[in-house]
């Protein structure tokens, strides 16, 4: 009962919030509702017993990602209302509705099967964090490390793309080459 109420509450709220994210003309509203929706999603995780995941969701999304977005928003000076040309609403909502319909039908199918054995079963007695830790650092150690590399890549990318060095472009600058030539001549 408690679970049901929570589920429906979270469902309605997330859907509404994400709708706002998607439909709002104001970046601020959109972002705020996105953040709120993400918080609520962590609620789902908690209901589902994925406590650690819920925490990560809160920290990474609501903490890191949203902070990034807000900094970006400030940089872009996008607090005012955004004018967007709307792409054929019929097409957009048709496609959205269609995909919702098909996905819902798909998920309404009897996917769940008793026969399926968990390969990495949970151990409720030990707690979610421990479970996750063990699997993550054994089975999924490699993806974990690769994710680290990925984050490194993202970091480097973020740094160099946003860096000052990008303000001048050698790509279209003919004089750069002349300098090289001069240097070579000097040698």
Partner 1 sequence: MESLVYIALFAPFVSSLFAALFGMSPRKTFVGAIASLLLFVSLSASMMLAYHVYQTGESVHITMMDWIHMGDLYIPFGFNVDQVSVTMMNVVTLVSTVVHIYSIGYMDHDKSFNRFFSYLSAFVFSMMVLVMSDNFAGLFIGWEGVGVCSWLLIGFWYHKPDLTREENPSISPSWAANEAFIMNRIADLGMLIGLFIIYWNVGSLQYDAVFAAIPHLTDVILSTAAIALFIGAMGKSAQFPLHTWLTDAMEGPTPVSALIHAATMVTAGVFLVIRVHPLFSVTPEVSYFIAALGTFVAFFAASMALVNRDLKRIIAFSTLSQLGYMFAAAGLGAYWIALFHLAAHAFFKALLFLGAGNVMHAMHDELDIFKMGGLKKSMKATYIYMGLASLALAGIPPLAGFFSKDAIIETAFNEGTLILWVMLVVTAGMTAFYSFRQVFLTFEGDERYKEFGIHPHEMYKFVLVAMSPLAILAVIAGFFRESFNAFVTHLLPGYEMSEHTHHLALILGAIVFAFAVGGILLAYKKYAKGLKRSEKVENSFIYRLLANQYYIPNLYEEFISKPYAMISEMMWKGVDLKIVDTTVDGIAKFLYRSGDGTRKMQTGNLSNYLNWMAIGGVLLLVVAMISAMIG
Partner 2 sequence: MIGLSHYLIVSALIFSIGLVGVLRRRNLLMLFFATEVMLNAVNIAFAAISHYYNDLTGQMFAFFVIAIAASEVAVGLGILIVLYKKQGSLDLDELTTMKG
Partner 3 sequence: MLEPIKVSLESLNLITLAPMLIAIAGGLIILCIDLIKENLDKSLYVMLTVLVLFTDFISVMGLNVNERGFFDVMLIDGVSIISQLLIVAGSMLFIPLGLTSRRFHEYEYPEFFALFLFMIAGFQFMAASDNLILIFVGIETASLALYTLIALHNRSDSYEAAVKYFTMGALAAAFYAMGSAVIYALTGSVELYQVAEVLSSRLDEAGLMIAVFGSSVLLLSAFAFKLSLFPFHTWAPDVYQGATAPLAGYMSVVPKIAAFVVSIRLFGMYIELGVEWVRIIILVIAVLTMTLANIMALVQEDVKRMLAYSSISHAGFVVAALALDTTDGNTSIFLYYALFMFTNLGAFAMLWISRHKQRRFDDRYDNPYEKFAGLINIMPVGAVIMALFMLSLAGVPPFSVFWGKIYVMQAAVNAGYVWLAIVMGLNSAIAAYYYLKLVVYMFLKEPVKSVDVVYYNLSKPLMAIIGFATVATVTAIFYVQPLISYLYYMISASGY
Q: Is the dihedral of CA 32, 38, 44, 49 positive or negative?
A: negative
C-alpha span between 105 and 111 (Å, rounded): 11
Q: Which of 9, 19, 154, 182 binds partner 3 (CB under 8 A)?
A: 154
For residue 75, state whether it binds partner 3 (rule: CB under 8 A): no
Q: Which of 74, 126, 141, 153 binds partner 2 (CB under 8 A)?
A: 153
Q: Which phi and psi angles does 81 have, rounded to 5°?
A: -65, 140
- DSSP letter for 171, please: T
Q: For the segment 82-101, give every residue that binds partner 1 (CB under 8 A).
A: 87, 91-92, 95, 98-99
* Beta carbon of residue 156, minimum distance to partner 3 (angstroms, whole number): 5
C-alpha span between 126 and 117 (Å, rounded): 20
* Beta carbon of residue 141, minimum distance to partner 3 (angstroms, whole number): 7
Q: Which of 9, 74, 100, 141 binds partner 2 (CB under 8 A)?
A: 100
* Beta carbon of residue 179, minimum distance to partner 2 (angstroms, whole number): 24
* Beta carbon of residue 132, minimum distance to partner 3 (angstroms, whole number): 11
C-alpha span between 153 and 146 (Å, rounded): 10
């Amino acid at each position: 009962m408690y679970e049901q109420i929570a589920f429906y509450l979270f469902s309605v709220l997330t859907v509404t919030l994400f709708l706002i994210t998607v439909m709002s003309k104001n970046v601020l509203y959109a972002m705020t509702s996105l953040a709120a929706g993400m918080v609520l999603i962590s609620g789902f995780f908690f209901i589902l017993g994925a406590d650690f995941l819920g925490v990560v969701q809160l920290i990474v999304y609501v903490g890191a990602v949203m902070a990034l977005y807000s900094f970006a928003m400030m940089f872009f000076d996008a607090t005012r209302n955004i004018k967007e040309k709307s792409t054929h609403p019929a097409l957009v909502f048709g496609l959205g509705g269609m995909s919702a319909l098909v996905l819902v039908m798909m998920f309404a199918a009897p996917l769940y099967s008793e026969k399926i054995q968990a390969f990495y079963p949970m151990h409720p007695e030990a707690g979610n964090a421990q479970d996750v830790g063990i699997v993550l650092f054994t089975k999924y150690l490699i993806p974990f490390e690769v994710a680290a590399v990925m984050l490194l890549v993202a970091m480097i990318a973020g740094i160099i793309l946003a860096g000052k060095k990008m303000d001048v472009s050698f790509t279209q600058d003919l004089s750069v080459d002349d300098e090289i030539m001069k240097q070579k001549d000097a040698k």
